[in-house]
Each structure stands twice: as C-alpha cells, then as structure tokens.
A and B are shown apart, each in its own frame.
Chain A
Amino acid sequence: MKKTFKNIETIFNKSLNSIETFIQSHPKVNFLFGALFEAADGLIRSTKDTAKNPPFIRSSMDVKQYMGGILVALFFGWVVPAIYFYGFMCVVPKLIVSFVVGVFIVDVLWVILAREERINEGGFVTCLFIPAFLPPQVPLWLIGVGAGISILFRNILGGVGHNLVNPALFGRLMLTICFPTMVVSGWQEPFTGIPTIESLMYGVDAVTHATPLIVFKETGEVTSYLSLLFGASTGSLGETCRISLIITGIWLCKKRIANWRIPVAYLGSVFLFAALFYLILGKAMVPPMFQLLSGGLIFGAFFMATDPITTTYSQTGKWIFSIGCGFITVVIRNFSPIPEGVMYAILFMNLIGVPIQSIILKLKYRT
C-alpha cells in the first residue's frame, strides 16, 4: 500500500516537473498560465526555497497549515452539523457555489489578470464563511454574489496580511445593504431526532420560523438554552450548533491558530455587559445567558474575530479589541431595532484596531 502510494507520488511529481519545464520554456504559455500553474502547484507541493540567512532550520508550520487548520475547524464546526440539521442538498450546493464563484472564478481570474504568484488559501476560508452566516433558505445566486464581492474586496486590498477588515464579513455587509430582506428571512426549522437517509439528504419541509433573537424582540420570549446550545433552534446555516463550534474553537485555540484571548474576552465581556444592563434596566434587556447562546456570537467570537490579520498585533490590544466587540454587540442587541449585532461589532472594531495598536505601542515603549 505504502509502496504503491510512493510510486504514484513519484510519477505525479515527475509529471508536474515536466509541465513546469514546458510552461517555462514557452513564453506565451507562461504569460497566460504560468502564474496559474505556480498557484495550483503551490497548493500541492512544497517550495524549492531554502534558508539563505540564519537560522538555517525553520519550523514546519507555514501559512498553508495555518489556514488548513481553520478549514478543518470550520468543516467540523459547522458543515457537518449543518448537514445533519438542514440536509445535504441544502448545504453542499451552497458550498459548491461559494467555492466556484469565489475561488475558481474570481480568484483564478485575478491570478491571471494581476499575475499574482499564487492563489491564497485565505480565499478558501472566506468562501467557507459565506454560506455559514446566511439563512438556510437563501437563494444560491446570493451566495455567489457574496463570495464574489468578498474575494474581490480581499484581492483589491492585497490578500493575506493586507486585510483591513474581515473580507467575509464585508461581503455579508454588502449583501445586507443590497438585499436587506433576503438575508433576514428564510430561517428554516432545523431537523431534530434520529436522522434518516431522507432527512440527511433534504432536511425537513421548509417551515420557516423567526430566529430566537427576533422572537425575543417581538414577544420577549426566551428560547430554551439547551436547544440553543445543541442547534435545535432557527438561525443562520452555520451558527446554530453552538456546541460543535465551541469544541472546534477550543481546538483552534489549543493549536494556537486562534488567539485564546479574543474568544475569552469577547464572550466574557458580552456576558458582563449584558448582566449589567439586565440588572439596571430590567426585563426589556436581553438576558446574559441568552445573549451568549444566541445569534452568531459563538461563531463570531471563535472564528471571525480571531482572524489574526484584522485584529491588533499586540496582545494587550487584543483584549481591548474583543471587549469593544462585546460592548458593541450588547448595545446593538439591546437598544437598536436590529436583532443581531455581531457583524457590525467585529467590522467596527476591525477599523478601530489600527489606532488601538498604535496607542498601545506608544504606551508600552514610552521612553
């Protein structure tokens, strides 16, 4: 088994090598597809580069593994539970559309036009985010538009390492502005109970029901915490099964891909501020435990706010950043007509992150 795998690998490697020499020896082919080949090759094989400056050994962790970790966490965090709750036919076409439009159309065109050396793996992460924070019954073309906008925005800014705000959230913001009714309707009731083949394929009949936060705004009724935790309540496709999101999020923190300070400070500050408002202003406010377990908060805290590039670099800044996120989330949920505020909170704090970083540096290294 191992031997056959090794043989296949050698043949594969040789054929890739010959394609590479072919492309490099034909300037016209190289002009059109050289960058594309380099990009695809970069996803399959390691680089040739060796260390030229000391230190001469390097850790095996690179950005590819870093992003791969996030992809794995997202897959088990929301894709697998979503297939159980809403059915294969609801989740997978959305993923396919998101990836085809985001990576294979916009990103590939960008690689050819802008002659970038590589397709950044960050794009996969962004495309995996897009369906997760849209309602289950959202039309497929909307997901395509969202993925296209996000990846285009990301590439215009310059890709991994240049992002000012989280590109996936920016795409979602654009969708909220352009198609305001579509992104806040179509919350499908999830399937619960022992799965059958039919339910795994198609989910239950498309009965829609308002999300717990909207229900609270309208009637003041609090959904049971257990159903919120295990995902038996309505919500966006990827944010309902909070228990799996928490487990994968903790795994990400253990792998040091996500910084543990951000979810801890974000969730903690949401709880504290919510409790504060609840104690002072009484029943009209959203109760603290309900705040923690509803909406996209868990998803946002573990996966969106921890996007390292859009937060501050300094560790102290990360605390301030996430406490700010928590405060804005609670304020929007409590005092504005909009039921959910995680997206606005993270986007706003992404922008505030830049001045936070420079102020922290000035304070820390004051002479």
Chain B
Amino acid sequence: MIEKKKNKKVYKKGLNLLEAYPIKFSESVVFVKYDGPVDNFSFPFPDKKVEHIIVNLCPTEPWALPTRAILKNETPDFLNKLEAVRTEYFPDSHCHVVVNHQESSLVNEAERYKSQKDWLSIHTMEPVYPYDTPVLIVKNILGLDIAFGQNTIELGILLLDPQTITGIFEYYIQKNEFNTRLIPISGTGLNENKILKVRPGTPVERILETHVKAGIKYRVFLDGPLNGTEVEDLTQKIDWSVKNIVVLEERDYKTPFPYLKVNKLLFTTSLMGELRRCVYCNFCDDICPVNLEPALYWHCYTRGEKHKARLYALEKCIECGLCSFICPSKLELLHVIRECKS
C-alpha cells in the first residue's frame, strides 16, 4: 500500500528521484590520499551588489551529497557560518535557506534559529528533480522569472552551495587551510556508495580506484547521469565545481526477458528498449517541470524544420533531461532540443 502511494506523485511535473532511485551512502567519510598538485580554494566574489543569497539544503537528486554530511547535526553552527559570511561580504543581502519539507527536525531547528534573526528566511521545498535548478528555485522563492542559462548575479541573486559557504568561512574569514571537498560516489558500478573527502586536483581514476566492481564495464559521470557530463578520460582532475560522481554499469549486451525483472535492470546506461517513433503518449509533457510539450520539438526536428521549434516556447526549456528519461520510445529529446536551440 505504501509502495502504491509513493508511485502516485513520483512522475508529476518533475520526477521525485529520491523515491524512484533511493541511494544509501555509508555513514563514514573516507579521505582519499593524493600527493600530486592540488587546486586551492578560491571564490570569485561578484562585483555587483548582492540582494538575495539562496542556499540550497535540499538536494533533489539521490546521488547528491546528503545534507547530514554537511550539517553533521549542528545546524545552528552552519547558520552561524552563513551569518559570518553575510556580514563580512554581503552585508545588505537577505538569505534564503531552502530545506526539505520532510526533514522536520531540520526545519524546526532552522525555524528556531530564524526567530532571532531578521536577515534570514527559511523555505521548504519538495525534493523533486529538477526544482533546485537556478530557474525554478529563483522562481519558487523570489517569484522572479529568469531565462535558462542567464547569470543570476545580474539580478543581484547569488546561489551558494553549502560547501562553498563552509569554504568561504574557513578560508577567507578564519584564514584556515581549506583544501578538501566532500564528494559522494554512487552507482551500480561500485561496491558501495560512499562519501569521500577529496582534494580537488585529484584525478577521477585515483578516487574510484578501490571502489569500482571488478570485471565489469562502467561509465563515469560528473554531477549525475541526468544532466551531468560523462568523463571520457579517467585521468581528468576534479575541480571545485564537481558535486558528485556516479559510476554506472554499461549494459551493452542483451538480456533475456527484460520485462520480468524490471527492478534489476534499473540504474544502468542501458536504453531499456529500442528506438521507436513517437507514440503520442503524453509522458513527456506530464513530467515536464516547465509545462512544455517536448514531443513537438521532435516532430519539428524529424520534419527538418528546426526553426519552427522556436515557435513552441523552446526558450523556456531548462534542459533537465526528464523528457528523454521518461520517453517510452527512447527518443533523444534533450539532444533534439539542444540541436533546435543552436
């Protein structure tokens, strides 16, 4: 019964990935030793006046760093750091902290802290992908419409990653050494999902070395398989912007009776079916978080009328990739949308 209740809301206007693909990370944080050259932390302070700071403590992707790893059950401590950063660098700004509405203890703690401060406001959000992308988070919290790809600094809005706040606090205010970053690694290509403490500058190869399952083909993605990038060259070094690493098993062989064991096959790079024509099933416009009809772009594209796609509000697309994810005909909708945009 609980299962059924879950599935109800999973695919409505965005995808509740945390329920569809739950990932458990092991409790302990492992430090990855690396002796080579490392990048030092630096934060490019904006030269425009910042009016709003948005801190997202509600990751919507299961492979993202869970908030407990950053807060370590000391929420006021983290918010104190935020206050220090604010008073030091962005004195006239208003802070918006976004938390998951299901984590009631965190919400309560933050609300209690907030009652003494007037520069802070707490927002709750459903952890539905892709509600934490800049376009949607700014729209939900400040009610402002920004275009996809627009720099939020121009509007005086600064989006901060919780780890960056810790970084600014430690490095610029406390003048301590700050050269490690928490990176969660997860996926079917690994023995165990772990949170690693990594020095930026370490090659991906070195990080994954001991964790990858033996004897399988795998592919590595930075910032998640949905809208992240694939790592072609494993000697690539990670930098301060990398949020997480996902290693997926490459299932490039045929498996008999795939429809009988759906759950086993999930979370691999397999297409889970074959390429067909669009069957007008309306899955893509049901899941689209910004109310577009992605199949229309595909129809334009196959007819060779790329320019016509712009008529159907193409500029609103935030390239979250959910339409390609859900498509039962396995159309490359995200690829088509990017082609149409260019």
Q: Which residues of A contact B (CB under 8 A)?
A: 9, 12-13, 16-17, 41-42, 44-66, 68, 118, 158-162, 256-257, 259, 308-309, 311-315, 361, 365, 367
Contact = CB atoms under 8 A, between A and B. Distances in A.
Question: Chain A CB within 10 Å — which of B266, B273, B322 has the most?
Answer: B273
A55 B276 contact: no
B257 interface: yes
Contact of B225 (A55, A161, A259, A361): A55
Nearest to B266: A60
Contacts of A51: 269-271
Given A61-B328, A256-B283, A53 B335 contact: yes
Contacts of A257: 281
Instruction: Report the interface size class on chain B.
Output: 35 or more
A60 B275 CA distance: 13
Given A46-B255, A54-B227, A313-B296, A63 B279 contact: yes
Question: Chain A CB within 10 Å — which of B227, B230, B281 has the most?
Answer: B281
A246 B279 CA distance: 24
Nearest to A117: B274
A60 B229 CA distance: 22
Given A47-B274, A68-B259, A315-B282, 18 more contacts: A16-B254, A17-B254, A41-B254, A48-B252, A49-B274, A50-B251, A54-B229, A55-B322, A58-B325, A62-B272, A63-B329, A65-B259, A158-B277, A160-B277, A161-B277, A256-B281, A312-B280, A313-B293
Contacts of A52: 332
Question: Chain B CB within 10 Å — which of A9, A55, A62, A361 has the most?
Answer: A55
A66 B312 contact: no
Contacts of B286: 256
B254 A54 contact: no
A266 to B, nearest CB: 17
10 contacts: A44-B256, A47-B273, A49-B275, A50-B270, A51-B269, A55-B334, A62-B272, A65-B273, A315-B282, A365-B313
Nearest to B273: A62
Interface of B: 11, 219, 221, 225-230, 248, 250-259, 262, 265-283, 285-286, 293, 295-296, 299, 311-313, 321-322, 324-330, 332, 334-335
A54 B221 CA distance: 10
Given A46-B254, A58-B272, A313 B329 contact: no
Contacts of B335: 53-54
A315 B296 CA distance: 13
Contacts of A41: 254
A361 B279 CA distance: 18
5 shortest interchain CB distances as A-B pairs? A62-B273, A161-B277, A46-B258, A55-B321, A56-B225
Nearest to A52: B332
A53 B332 contact: yes
A57 B227 CA distance: 10
A13 B272 contact: no
Given A13-B254, A48-B252, A313 B295 contact: yes
A50 B269 contact: yes
Contacts of B296: 313, 361
Contacts of A256: 11, 281, 283, 286
A53 B219 CA distance: 13
A285 B267 CA distance: 57
Given A56-B219, A58-B272, A160-B277, A47 B254 contact: yes
A54 B273 CA distance: 16
